[in-house]
């Protein structure tokens, strides 16, 4: 029954993906997206197998699911408690203590004024459980579909940068191995990628048509999800968002000056934001998060721990920023392949290093009209990379935390490389080939 229900949902989502216009991407053969979906399902099952058979501890790929099943069982035991935990209302009342005693991820003793994502991931799994019958791999299929929505949103957002080179954007959005792997499991990465992709898609849509209600609805929903899922993702993107807004308001002039000015102002405000809210002391929160991670590293005696970067003041912060970026995007490297599980990641990081070098040697100046979108992506890569590189001292955790920025990094590199082509029959849709033949009959 478990396998049949999993396959049934996978087939249902495949039909939706194949027939729905949102997943019909310009210049990309429509059969590729269902193929990517099934590839993600395979990756999700592989992730489950690794954690189920290789590791002895119950990781978060299971405990969020376990907590959701505890709350799901409340439907027959205590229906009022079920609704309270589903909507997050009244869960801190004394009569709910017996439920909290059975949950592992619902509360956190410290947050430094930032939202805790545990209850949000549990609720995602709880909602899916209403359709899954409590079968784990049905949740895997749902998570693959959610993350595919986000990746498709990213493709649509950046598609104008890659006119005629859509295959490069396809690779950046759908074929980065670590993104495929980690966004396909029953983890926070799947809804995170979904919300991020919808956010960027709605922002770029509003820049073209600010009167379309759908974009405003998508923007609000994605921000709401990210607020309770990963606040640091919104923080990382906020300077770029404000830069785009200012750029639009002043009449689309001096884009580079606008982005630099807004980012400097945002940083100055962040240095004094503690006057406005608890989580506003940027360096204090970064220090505390770093300390918490290192305490956990020492407690579990993690074998993949890395040296701590000093961020005791802003001088050390700026001096340590290049190392933080290097930790995020280039580690583990090929000299740190201690176990077989590090090999794919180290090879991927090496390929990204080569891609960055090739970009520098084959650099081309982007069109002025495309510069805002590229600066937006570059800003997110640099800011999120710094936050992750400063606070995460475990190579295994770095691999997961950085995946939301990897498509943006690939977009920046591919967009700035002087163009080259591959045979179009590998990726181009039949409709696109017919249009090309009509415009250029001699090319038949």
Mean pLDDT by 10 residues, the chain (444 residues): 88 95 89 95 93 76 89 86 85 83 74 66 90 91 96 95 90 96 93 96 90 92 90 91 89 84 88 64 79 72 75 87 93 81 89 94 86 94 93 84 95 86 55 51 45
Q: Report d(CA 9, CA 128) in Å as an integer.
A: 12
Residue 439 within a domain: no
Say if residues 192 and 146 touch (Cβ distance below 8 Å). Answer: no
Same domain, residue pair 200 and 240: no
Domain boundary (229, 263, 298) is at 229
pLDDT for res 442 = 43
Cα 289 to chain centroid distance, Å, stands at: 20
**Assigned domain for 444 exists:** no
Residues 220 and 268 grouped into a single domain: no
SS3 394: strand
Quote the pLDDT of residue 444: 46
Taking the C-alpha atoms of residue 201 and residue 204, their distance in angstroms, rounded to an integer, is 5
Q: Is the domain of 180 the same as that of 281?
A: no
The confidence score (pLDDT) of residue 84 equals 86
Domain count, the chain: 2
In a shared domain, residues 115 and 137: yes
Torsion angle in degrees (nearest 10) through CA of 78, 83, 86, 91 = -80
Query: Does residue 154 share a domain with residue 194?
Result: yes
Q: Work out the angle at residue 171's Cα, subtended by the Cα atoms of residues 39 and 255, and round it to the nearest 5 degrees.
A: 140
Residues 244 and 209 in one domain: no
Tokens of 82: 């079920």
CA distances from 243 to 108, 161, 374 (A): 34, 19, 12
Tokens 């580690």 correspond to what residue? 331
Q: Which of 229, 251, 275 is the last residue of a domain?
A: 229
H or E stretch covering 180 = helix 177-182
Please indicate, yes or no, whether residues 171 and 212 belong to a single structural domain of this protein: yes
In terms of domains, do 252 and 221 share one?
no
Report CA-CA distances (Å) from 324 to 335, 376, 386, 433: 18, 20, 5, 45
pLDDT, residue 440, reads 44
CB neighbours of residue 50 within 10 Å? 15
**Residue 190 φ then ψ, to 5°:** -65, -55
Residue 434 domain-assigned (yes or no): no
In a domain, 442, yes or no: no
Choose one of 212, 229, 246: the last residue of a domain. 229
CA distance 370 to 239: 18
Q: What is the pLDDT of residue 439?
A: 43
By residue range, what is the domain housing residue 31? Answer: 1-229
The reply to whether 443 falls in a domain is no
206 and 249 housed in the same domain? no
* Whether residues 136 and 256 fall in one domain: no
The whole-number pLDDT of residue 388 equals: 92
Check: CB of residue 314 under 8 Å from CB of residue 271: yes
Pair 114, 285: CB distance under 8 Å? yes
Residues 107 and 199 in one domain: yes
Least Cα distance to 139 among 206, 72, 91 occurs for 72
Q: Return the structure tokens found at 416.
A: 């700035």
Q: What is the pTM of this model?
A: 0.88
In a domain, 299, yes or no: yes
Is the domain of 89 the same as that of 160? yes
Strands (E), 290-353: none
CB 23 within 8 A of CB 33: yes
Domain-embedded: residue 440: no
**Residue 278: inside a domain, yes or no?**
yes
94, 95, 97, 102 alpha-carbon torsion, rounded to 10°: -170
């Amino acid at each position: 029954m478990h396998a049949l229900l999993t396959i049934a949902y996978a087939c249902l989502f495949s039909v939706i993906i194949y027939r729905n216009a949102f997943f019909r991407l310009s210049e990309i053969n429509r059969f590729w997206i269902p193929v990517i979906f099934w590839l993600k399902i395979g990756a999700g099952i592989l992730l489950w197998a690794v954690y189920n058979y290789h590791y002895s501890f119950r990781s978060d790929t299971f405990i969020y699911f376990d907590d959701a099943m505890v709350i799901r069982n409340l439907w027959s035991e205590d229906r009022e408690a079920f609704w309270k935990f589903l909507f997050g209302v009244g869960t801190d009342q004394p009569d709910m203590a017996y439920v909290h005693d059975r949950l592992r991820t619902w509360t956190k003793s410290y947050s430094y004024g930032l939202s805790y994502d545990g209850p949000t991931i549990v609720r995602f799994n709880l909602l899916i459980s209403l359709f899954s019958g409590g079968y784990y791999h049905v949740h895997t299929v749902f998570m693959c579909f959610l993350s595919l929505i986000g990746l498709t949103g990213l493709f649509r957002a950046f598609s104008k940068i890659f006119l005629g080179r859509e295959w490069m954007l396809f690779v950046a959005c759908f074929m980065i191995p670590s993104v495929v792997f980690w966004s396909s499991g029953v983890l926070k990465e799947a809804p995170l990628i979904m919300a991020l992709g919808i956010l960027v898609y709605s922002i770029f849509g509003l820049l073209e048509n600010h009167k379309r209600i759908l974009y405003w609805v998508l923007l609000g929903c994605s921000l709401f999800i990210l607020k309770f899922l990963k606040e640091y993702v919104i923080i990382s993107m906020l300077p770029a968002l404000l830069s785009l807004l200012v750029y639009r308001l002043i009449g689309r002039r001096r884009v580079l000056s606008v982005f630099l000015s807004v980012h400097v102002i945002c940083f100055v405000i962040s240095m004094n934001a503690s006057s406005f809210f608890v989580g506003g002391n940027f360096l204090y929160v970064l220090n505390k998060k770093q300390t918490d991670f290192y305490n956990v590293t020492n407690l579990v005696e993690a074998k993949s721990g890395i040296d701590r970067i000093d961020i005791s003041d802003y001088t050390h912060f700026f001096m340590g920023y290049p190392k933080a970026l290097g930790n995020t995007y280039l580690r583990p490297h090929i000299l740190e392949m201690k176990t077989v599980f590090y090999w794919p990641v180290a090879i991927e990081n090496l390929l990204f290093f080569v891609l960055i070098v090739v970009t520098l040697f084959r650099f081309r100046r982007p069109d002025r009209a495309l510069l805002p979108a590229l600066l937006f992506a570059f800003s997110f890569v640099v800011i999120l990379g710094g936050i992750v590189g400063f606070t995460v001292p475990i190579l295994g955790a770095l691999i997961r935390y950085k995946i939301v920025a990897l498509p943006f990094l690939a977009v920046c590199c591919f967009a700035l490389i002087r163009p080259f082509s591959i045979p179009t029959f590998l990726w181009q849709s039949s409709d696109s080939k017919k249009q090309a033949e009509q415009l250029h009959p001699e090319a038949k």
